[in-house]
């Protein structure tokens, strides 16, 4: 789909699941569980063993049910592998001109990571479609609100420390969407194969997103 349509859909969902797992099975089954809870945007990080294979399998099984991206994309080669596997967008914790350039050549959206105003503007000027504010836990929603003051034209995706209790405040502060990992993709639940627990956590998280928006918070 066109990047503009993808961006609209991610904003509509309001959150992207950050997938970190020790095995491909944990990643695949965990994603199934979270998607069942209503979170339809998924970022498979390159810290997951065999990440391109996981992306490919999610694409095969879930197809258009999910907005499928790749995360922790640190090298242009990773970007190529991710898109070849079916990733529709690329996310990184840092800003790398070569990765952004590769995303542009591959015609997929890219959300590089930045934190300070200088870093955010550089990422945007290099061609970011949105900027991942990481780690968002350092400054919290107040920092997002402060950044939005001089940079209202840049979509922010705060990531790190976002959970069902504060997601509404991040959206109220002006976040385009949020990235959420550990609070949704809990390592203990993955180890215990507690798929129902992951689904319920996702349902509560997405209910918090909807509640925030109904109350004018994002």
Active-site entry in 132, 164, 169, 217: 132
- Quick check: is 145 catalytic? no
Neighbour tally for 148: CB within 10 Å: 15
Active-site entry in 26, 40, 43, 189: 43
- CA dist 123 and 113 (Å) reads 8
- Quick check: is 132 catalytic? yes
Query: What are the residue numbers of the active site?
Result: 43, 132
């Amino acid at each position: 789909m066109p990047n503009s349509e993808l961006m609209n859909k991610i904003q509509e969902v309001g959150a992207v699941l950050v997938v970190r797992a020790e095995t491909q099975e944990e990643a695949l089954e965990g994603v199934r569980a979270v998607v069942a809870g209503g979170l339809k945007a998924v970022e498979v990080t390159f810290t997951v063993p065999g990440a391109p294979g996981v992306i490919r399998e999610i694409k095969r099984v879930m197809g258009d049910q999910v907005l499928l991206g790749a995360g922790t994309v640190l090298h242009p080669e990773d970007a190529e592998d991710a898109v070849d596997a079916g990733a529709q967008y690329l996310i990184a914790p840092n800003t790398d001109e070569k990765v952004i350039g590769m995303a542009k050549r591959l015609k997929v959206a890219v959300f590089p990571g930045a934190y300070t105003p200088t870093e955010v503007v550089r990422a945007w000027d290099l061609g970011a479609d949105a900027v991942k504010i990481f780690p968002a836990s350092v400054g919290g929603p107040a920092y997002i609100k402060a950044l939005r003051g001089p940079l209202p034209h840049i979509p922010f995706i705060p990531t790190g420390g976002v959970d069902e209790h504060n997601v509404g405040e991040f959206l109220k502060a002006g976040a385009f969407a949020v990235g959420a990992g550990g609070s949704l993709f809990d390592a203990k639940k993955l180890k215990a194969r507690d798929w129902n627990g992951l689904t319920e956590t996702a349902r509560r998280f997405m209910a918090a997103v909807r509640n925030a928006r109904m109350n004018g918070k994002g």
